[in-house]
Chains A and B, each alone.
Chain A
Amino acid sequence: DSGVTQTPKHLITATGQRVTLRCSPRSGDLSVYWYQQSLDQGLQFLIQYYNGEERAKGNILERFSAQQFPDLHSELNLSSLELGDSALYFCASSTTTANYGYTFGSGTRLTVV
């Protein structure tokens, strides 16, 4: 267990629908990052939050949005889903006091049918 909790583990939904993915960072970590990993693809950075504030945006579609709450958990909202949104979505967290990288959760596998 990495300490980063993602729910749900699996999600199957239809095109056009909206889903919410949840992430609880490792205790003490203030930064949360969201990544998308499609089949046989690398890790595509979506967005970063630090202590409730958006810090960086990557290749995130306008149909996607995220937020980080006062208790530091984060949610990634995906709307108007398309078949191409099917992927693994990873959340990672990091601390500000050490630069040894991120701790990833086990991911949410989203299947859009």
Chain B
Amino acid sequence: QQQVKQSPQSLIVQKGGISIINCAYENTAFDYFPWYQQFPGKGPALLIAIRPDVSEKKEGRFTISFNKSAKQFSLHIMDSQPGDSATYFCAASRRMDSSYKLIFGSGTRLLVRP
């Protein structure tokens, strides 16, 4: 119930293409769904996030689609660029005892070819 399942494990996309990463969760107590971007040798950085009462959120070329009934959410990277090559983690958050607990997916390694 605490898991967040992420797919695919790796993804290769041509420059200008659309990258799609999918995640699924089981625990309906989660109330926030962030995505993190991690470059090699760096810490994960918050990329974009969505609340479960919103079906879509867009920030530049990055869009989160959220399907509450299916308990699934996905990250779409439009017009993918070589600079987007990184590992992407989805996560689900819930408030616990005055702090927040984040459960991370297993990560997707994205390679955007020039």
Residues of A within 8 A of B (CB): 2, 4, 30-31, 33, 42-43, 45, 48, 50, 55-56, 88, 90, 92, 94, 96, 99-107, 109
Contacts and interface: CB of A to CB of B under 8 A. Distances in A.
Interface in B81-114: 89, 91, 93, 95-102, 104-107
Contact of B43 (A48, A56, A100, A105): A105
Interface of B: 31-32, 34, 36, 41-46, 49, 89, 91, 93, 95-102, 104-107
B99 A101 contact: no
Contacts, number: 69
Given A42-B107, A99-B32, A100-B34, A31 B42 contact: no
- From B41, B49, B89, B99, name the one whose CB has the most chain A CB atoms within 10 angstroms: B99
A107 B102 contact: no
A96 B99 CA distance: 5
A101 B100 contact: yes
B102 A101 contact: yes
Contacts of A48: 99, 101
Contacts of B93: 99, 101
Contact of B89 (A31, A42, A50, A88): A42
Given A43-B89, A99-B32, A106-B42, A94 B106 contact: no
B43 A94 contact: no
Given A42-B104, A50-B97, A96-B98, A101 B43 contact: no
What are the nearest 3 A-B pairs in CB distance? A104-B43, A101-B34, A42-B106
